[in-house]
Amino acid sequence: MTILNATHDPKLRSWVASANVAGCDFPVQNLPFGRFRPAGSQDAFRIGVAIGDQVLDLKAAGIVDTDDMNVLMAATVAERQALRARLSEGLREGSTQQAAWSQALCAQSSVELTVPCRIGDYTDFYTSVHHATTVGKQFRPDNPLLPNYKWVPIGYHGRASSIIASGQDFKRPQGQTKAPDAEVPSFGPCRRLDYELELGWFIGQGNAQGMPIAIAQAEQHLFGVTLFNDWSARDIQGWEYQPLGPFLSKNFASSVSPWLVTLEALAPFRAAFERPAGDPQPLPYLDSPDNRAQGAFSITLEVLLQTEKMRLAGEAPTRLSSTNTTRAAYWTPGQLVAHHTVNGCNLQPGDLLGSGTLSGPGASEAGSLMELSAGGKQPIVLPNGERRTFLEDGDTLTLRGYCEREGAVRIGLGEVSGTVRG
């Protein structure tokens, strides 16, 4: 597991002034990776590191010799730590690299960002017991939480081709639905369009087919984390999901934030993994002393909504909910990797593991409108008087995330947003 070192020193400051502003998502203690190009250009995307409100072009600075982010992600843990140390030393105040590297900086406002790497495969998990229970009550009132939930990290294989970058619009999906009082299904646009507040855990080094990754080594295969919104068509989902699970209700669009925050950057925000009293402990292949002691991460997550009416009136987005992963996640990222590979499945650099909707125990901590509106029965009243049960055309939904604790510098995950179009 990653440990604290000189790159996490809260006293470090950067010669990039914006990185030292209180509340900045990207101080020198963070150093997340992403891919960028000049806005409006057709250039190939290059690898950059966010620092304050700037992007450091790693190739232009002579730090890497590739534009392929997946190559960097396939590096060993030691190589990744060495790269982080070099970036930290070069970007901190007093660095001898300031004159040279300042020529490789460009403003984030002047670039186009895309998905952080080439995503080969995508698996979505179901790690919040609170979300699973609340939604289960709506779909299966007599049996909301299936008996395997507390033993097996539940997941399904999604569609990588429809994962889009933050800021992109997407079309409202169409499909089959069936009203409870209808004899036959009908076809048309989704009427119960929802978001899902998730994290996206990205694989670094992969494993050979047939060679499971042990829980003790699982985090060596995780590169980092992004914000992730797995848009969901709840009415299509309710009709199609039995017996094989989600299909067209989930694969029309999923939005990912552009900055990939490394596991090394998250080291100050580790937390103990604890099961509630009376719950079963994980089977041995999902259990280890390190995972119990510090396998979880404390990440605060927020959901914000801006309707088209609010946008035209110049009104800021309103917060719908907020939670923390220590309250929301029933399984750790390391457990997801161990379980995913225990049957011999081979993961590859750039593969994405979605956390599933992260809902905390409180009513204000729900990670979807399906929960916040009680399946559409209790509309949410927004500050301007508008009501929402599910998303309407023109709505922009934004997820934000950050880590903070006493004695450490706050780091952010940035944000991921998307707008629904008819």
Cα–Cα distance for residue pair 5/3, rounded to 1 Å: 6
Domains and CATH numbers, the chain: 6-113 (2.30.30.230), 122-421 (3.90.850.10)
If pLDDT is split at 50, 70 and 90, which confidence band does 417 have?
very high
Average pLDDT over residues 198-215: 98
pLDDT of amino acid 296: 98
Give catalytic residue positions. Answer: 131
Report which DSSP code applies to 217: G
Q: Nearest 5 degrees, angle CA 250-CA 348-CA 209?
A: 105
Q: What digits encode the pLDDT tens for the residues 398-416?
A: 999 999 999 999 999 999 9
**Residue carrying structure tokens 């029933």:** 330
Q: What is the b/e burial string over 241-269, where b = at least 16 CB atoms within 10 angstroms of the residue's CB?
A: eeeebbebbbbbbbbbbbbbbbbbbbbbb
For the chain, the straight-line distance linking the first and the last C-alpha, in angstroms and rounded, comes to 46
Q: What digits encode the pLDDT tens for the residues 13-36?
A: 999 999 999 999 999 999 999 999
Q: How many residues does the chain have?
A: 422
Pair of tokens at residue 165:
């970058």
**Whether pLDDT at 124 is above 70:** yes
Mean of per-residue pLDDT scores for the chain: 96
Report which DSSP code applies to 353: E
pLDDT of amino acid 406: 96
**Whether pLDDT at 212 is above 90:** yes
pLDDT of amino acid 309: 98
Q: What percent of the chain has pLDDT over 90?
A: 95
- Is residue 123 within 8 Å of 343, Cβ to Cβ? no
Cα–Cα distance for residue pair 415/422, rounded to 1 Å: 24
Partners of 188 in the β-ladder: 175
Q: What digits encode the pLDDT tens for the residues 271-292?
A: 999 999 999 999 999 999 999 9
**Whether pLDDT at 96 is above 90:** yes
The helix (run of H) or strand (run of E) holding residue 334 is helix 333-341
Cα–Cα distance for residue pair 365/143, rounded to 1 Å: 23
pTM: 0.97
At residue 74, what is the residue type?
A
Q: What is the b/e burial string over 92-102, where b = at least 16 CB atoms within 10 angstroms of the residue's CB?
A: beebebeeebe
- Is residue 74 within 8 Å of 206, Cβ to Cβ? yes
Cα–Cα distance for residue pair 342/339, rounded to 1 Å: 5
- Helix-then-strand count for the chain, H and E: 10, 26
Q: Which has the closest alpha carbon to 388: 403, 400, 399, 373? A: 373
Strands, E assignment, 244-344: 254-256, 261-262, 270-271, 296-297, 300-306, 318-324
**Whether pLDDT at 2 is above 70:** no
Q: What digits encode the pLDDT tens for the residues 163-182?
A: 999 999 999 999 999 998 99
Q: Which has the closest alpha carbon to 256: 125, 46, 116? A: 116
Cα–Cα distance for residue pair 398/307, rounded to 1 Å: 11
Burial class (CB in 10 A: 0-12, 13-18, 19+), 272: exposed
pLDDT of amino acid 1: 67
Q: What digits encode the pLDDT tens for the residues 243-278?
A: 888 999 999 999 999 999 999 999 999 999 999 999
pLDDT of amino acid 140: 80
**Whether pLDDT at 385 is above 90:** yes
If pLDDT is split at 50, 70 and 90, which confidence band does 138 have?
confident
**Residue carrying structure tokens 């009104």:** 315
**Read out DSSP for 86-112?**
HHHHHHBTT-TTHHHHGGGEEEGGGEE
